[in-house]
Each structure stands twice: as structure tokens, then as C-alpha cells.
Amino acid sequence: MERQLKTKYEPSDFLAAAARRFKPRGGLVNIREYGHGNVHDTFLVTLEGGEAEHFILQRVNTQVFRQPEQVMRNMRIVTDHVSGRLERDQPCRGRRWEVVRVLSDEAGLDYWIAPDGDFWRAISFIGGAESFDIIQNSEHAREVGFALGMFHSLVSDLPAGKLADTLEGFHITPRYLRHYDRVLEEKGAGRSPEEKYALRFVNEQRALADVLEEAKMQGRLCLRPIHGDPKVNNFMIDTTTGRAVSMIDLDTVKPGLVHYDIGDCLRSCCNLLGEETEQWEGVQFEPDLCRTILQGYLPVAKAFLSEMDYEYLYDGVRLIALELGLRFFTDYLEGNVYFKVSHPKHNLARALVQFRLAESIESQEKTICAMFRDMR
């Protein structure tokens, strides 16, 4: 029997049409926007059922991911690999750990291209868990560290060559810098105090941009499968136990340096004002949280980290804050063509937060480096 409209959507509604593609049976109760992603449009779909059943529906940003089919292929490869490892090796025995699943559409495909060309996909929902935009306490920090280590360890035996490069140049800082220089030349920048600060900061820091790419070229650091976007709200935390249970958002899983991931996780988690704050001048990097995250990460990751990897941990965290600031600032100058914004100066505000964070990291270089040394 067709539902007695608990749903607020008409069958013609584009969201409902996409949702039905992946779950043709079972009435739709609700579809609502979900999470705070900067790139895709994400929705939580609730279906009728004994217990509320949910899944994640996403419209993939094909301006950013030009070959979304490859993104889905990577996601399949990674989730199959991780599921196999979890079953075979049981590295998480005694604790809950889940991997998201890609849901197929009616035709058995991992995505659906709508008549208007939009690219839709559906992903299983991790129930009984939540994510946070800001680190809540030191237990949360330790769990985030554990989860990143677990993720790295679960993919560490997946040959990097099996994964396509779905976003060319992602985390290659010198490329972002070259793009910034081109955009600045073409479009110029305004002269507000904030813009002047950003322009000056990038100029002062530009010599640092090559540090990880150089180390890679010299064979000091090697490529491995990485998550690519381990920011604080991509870690799912069990609502009852407070323990990490999954890492979500697998779009950018691809060959890279673990330093991009460690740096990105630390720059995201050790900023207690969060990356969306308007109080950018108050942003600070918290070394105590950094230590706690690494106390969660290192015991799981020790097995695959080399001596040389440790040498570049500090460079990783400073660089990724600078890089993300540069990406936001460039997007602001370019007219907000990459990241979603809710007002025209949104990307400028985000850039200032990251630049201020990079400054704070730099001002604590000695403390942070000593901590990394002591933790080996």
C-alpha cells in the first residue's frame, strides 16, 4: 500500500526521486540536509520501517570531482578491502568499528545520473553515533587519534596503485601556490586590513610550500593510501560509549603522504574555535590536544611509520594549515568557485582562521617539535 503521506515530498520531487532510485521500496518519511560539507550536497533520508531506517544521499559536486565514477570505484575498492581486513584480521576485536557501505541503485550501479545530469549516490548511515565540529574533550581527542591510526592501518596493505587519483593536485601545496599567483594576477585583491594580512602572510610563508613535495621527490617519504580529509567531523563517535566507531567521507582516499592526513587532522582538531569561527584573531593551536591525539594515533600506527616519517610531522601540520588557508583565500579571490559559501566573504574568513592557526603553530615550533621527538 502506498504510504499515507507521512512524507512531505511529492513523487516528482527531485530529492525523493533520487532517494527512491536507491531504495525503491519502503516509504520515505523525511529527507533533510545533513552535516556541514563544503563541497557536496548531503541529505539524510529516513525511511519507514519498524525502527527508523536512514541512509545518506549525496549530490556529488562534479565541478570539483570531474570523474565521479572514479571516486565511486575507489570507494568500492577501499570499503571492500577494509571490510575484508576487519573480517579476516579482526584488528578491532572487542570494540565497535564500522565501515560505510556504498548502496547500489536499481540497476546495480553505485550511482545514479539524473536526467538533468546531476550525479547522485547513497551511502549507509552509521547509527548510534555522532560527529562534532569541535573537539569536545581529551577522550574525544584520543579516540580521533585512534581512529585515524586504525584507518591508516586498515588501508596500509592496499596497493596505492589500485586507487585512481580522483583529484589531481590535491594537497600538492606548490600547485595551490601557483594557482594562487595566477588568480591574484588576473583578479587582484582588495585592500581591506584582512586582505592585506592574508596577502602578506602568503608571501612570508611561500618558501615553505615545497617541503613535503621535496621530501617525496627525494624518496624520504613514500606514497600510501590516505584518507585525504580527516577533519574532526569526519570521525563518528558512539553516542553511548564515546568511542570512535568509523571514519566517513571517503571521497579523497587516494595515494598520498600520511603527513597530509596527520597534519589535516591536527590542524582541524587542535583549534578549539573551529574552522568556521568569526573570531579568527583568537584562534590558537592547542599542543595538549595535539599530544593526546598522537597518544591515540601512534600505538596503532607505529608499525608502518618510518623514522623519516617522524621527521616531517611538524612540517605536515604547519603546511596543511597554510595550504587550506591558501585554498580558501584563492577561492575568495576567484569568486567562490570551489567551496560552498553562505556569504561572499565566507572563504576570506575561513582563510584568516587557517593563517592565524599556522602562525600559532609556528610560534610554538619548539614545543611541538620536542613533543614529537619525545613521542617516538
Q: Compute the least distance from the CB of residue 46 to ligand GN1, in Å.
A: 22
Closer of 205 and 252 to ligand GN1 (Cβ): 252
CB contact at 8 A, 210 and 174: yes
Site for ligand GN1, residues 22 to 41, rule: CB under 6 A = 37-39
CA-to-CA distance for 324 and 326, rounded, in angstroms? 5
Helical H runs in 11-137?
A: 14-22, 68-89
C-beta nearest to ligand GN1: residue: 39
Please name every residue paired with 113 in a beta bridge, in sequence order, or none if there are none: 119
Q: Compute the least distance from the CB of residue 249 to Mg ion, in Å.
A: 4
CA-to-CA distance for 228 and 259, rounded, in angstroms? 10
Site for ligand GN1, residues 240 to 279, rule: CB under 6 A = 249, 252, 275
DSSP 62: T
Closer of 23 and 254 to ligand GN1 (Cβ): 254
Q: Compute the least distance from the CB of residue 197 to Mg ion, in Å.
A: 27
Closer of 60 and 294 to ligand GN1 (Cβ): 60
Closest CA to 331 of 323, 19, 67, 230: 323
DSSP 111: -
Q: Cell numbers at residue 23, please?
A: 531504495
Q: Compute the least distance from the CB of residue 37 to ligand GN1, in Å.
A: 4
CA-to-CA distance for 273 and 285, rounded, in angstroms? 10
DSSP 297-316: HHHHHGGG--HHHHHTHHHH
DSSP 180-204: HHHHHHHH----SHHHHHHHHHHHH
Residues in the chain: 376
Closer of 39 and 72 to ligand GN1 (Cβ): 39
Closer of 167 and 369 to Mg ion (Cβ): 167
Site for ligand GN1, residues 184 to 243, rule: CB under 6 A = 229, 231
Which among ligand GN1, Mg ion, none contacts residue 266 (Cβ within 5 to 8 A by kind)? none
Please name every residue paired with 121 in a beta bridge, in sequence order, or none if there are none: 58
Binding site for Mg ion (CB under 5 A): 229, 249
Contact letters for ligand GN1, residues 310-349 (x by CB under 6 A):
--------------x-------------------------
How would you class 371 by CB atoms within 10 Å of its CB: exposed for 0-12, middle for 13-18, buried for 19 or more?
middle
Which among ligand GN1, Mg ion, none contacts residue 38 (Cβ within 5 to 8 A by kind)? ligand GN1
Which among Mg ion, ligand GN1, none contacts residue 324 (Cβ within 5 to 8 A by kind)? ligand GN1
By three-state DSSP, how is residue 113 classified?
A: strand
Q: Compute the least distance from the CB of residue 336 to Mg ion, in Å.
A: 17
Please name every residue paired with 120 in a beta bridge, in sequence order, or none if there are none: 59, 112
Which among Mg ion, ligand GN1, none contacts residue 46 (Cβ within 5 to 8 A by kind)? none
Which among ligand GN1, Mg ion, none contacts residue 296 (Cβ within 5 to 8 A by kind)? none
Closer of 291 and 327 to ligand GN1 (Cβ): 327
Residues that bind ligand GN1 (CB under 6 A): 37-39, 64, 229, 231, 249, 252, 275, 324
